[in-house]
Amino acid sequence: MKWSPYLVLSIVFCCNWGSSQGVTTTQDLIYARSPQGELHLDLYLPQNPKNDFLIIWVHGGAWKSGDKSNPPKALVDQGYAMASINYRLSTEAIFPAQIHDIKAAIRYLRANGKSFGLNAKNIILWGSSAGGHLVALAGLSNGDKYLEGVLGNYQSFSSDVQGIIDFYGPTNLESILEQSTPHGLEVRIPALQMLFGSDPLTSKDIAKKCSPVNYVDSDDPPIFIAHGDQDNQVPINQSIELFGKCKKSELQVSLEFVYGNGHGGYGFESNEMTQKLMTFLLAIAKNNE
């Protein structure tokens, strides 16, 4: 097997994660180098992977915290390969650095997929909370020069994706503050201040560029949205706004209300949700035949 030109720091073999399949985990692959340092991803490859898609997981954490170390493995257990990526947090670099990083990771994986024995032609972005926002923005902004960036060594490869899974992510940073509860404002205003590098109450141009709803058009990939009806951090109207924009553009889109759940919770990790995600992926695969 021919490995990536970047350094592989460690490889471990896991017998199972609630699955009968063995999973090979390749950790800390360097997918790009930024002014702030190396950017890493972990790759989870089932023994007999389904070759329909590669899933890229983007973690949450209000854009300022979190890492790639603990992605949800429900789709890995179903046989899908997954890459979990780190990106520059808002404590390191302001927007749009985070989107530049995600797009660099997509190009790296697409360029080197065969070296790892996987099909990286068709890529699905999946994220929750701030990660949900980032995957929606990265996936819907195909071809946008401002958000594309020039990070990494694979500029000739496309950063377009074939599907998006957005769990309770902000989608309209122009409207989110007026929709927020007092608790939501306590969380969101400082987080946006760090992400924008300026006052979110006055940074209208940045808020517009940072909002997935403003990039929706008829050329976008299918999107699956899920949001808890008791979410007091990211208003449920954020997901409704994105759903409405997608429907208006006649995109393949579904919005799942996870009743009784707040900002995350058991409903997002249930077997029922996994089956809905599988149905979403199978529909995309059928359309791509």
Predicted local confidence at residue 21, as pLDDT: 53
Predicted local confidence at residue 287, as pLDDT: 83
Predicted local confidence at residue 288, as pLDDT: 78
Domains of the chain: 10-287 (3.40.50.1820)
Omega of the bond leading into 49 within 30 degrees of 0 (cis): no
Q: How far apart are the first and last CA of the chain?
A: 28
pTM: 0.92
Predicted local confidence at residue 12, as pLDDT: 34
Rounded to whole angstroms, the Cα distance separating 84 from 50 reads 17
Q: Which residues of 148-185 are buried (b: 16+ CB within 10 A; e: fewer)?
A: bbebbebeebebbbbbbbbbbbbbbbebbbebbeeebe
In the chain, the percentage of residues whose pLDDT exceeds 90 is 84
pLDDT in tens, 240-265: 999 999 999 999 999 999 999 999 99
Q: pLDDT under 70 in the chain at which residues?
A: 1-21
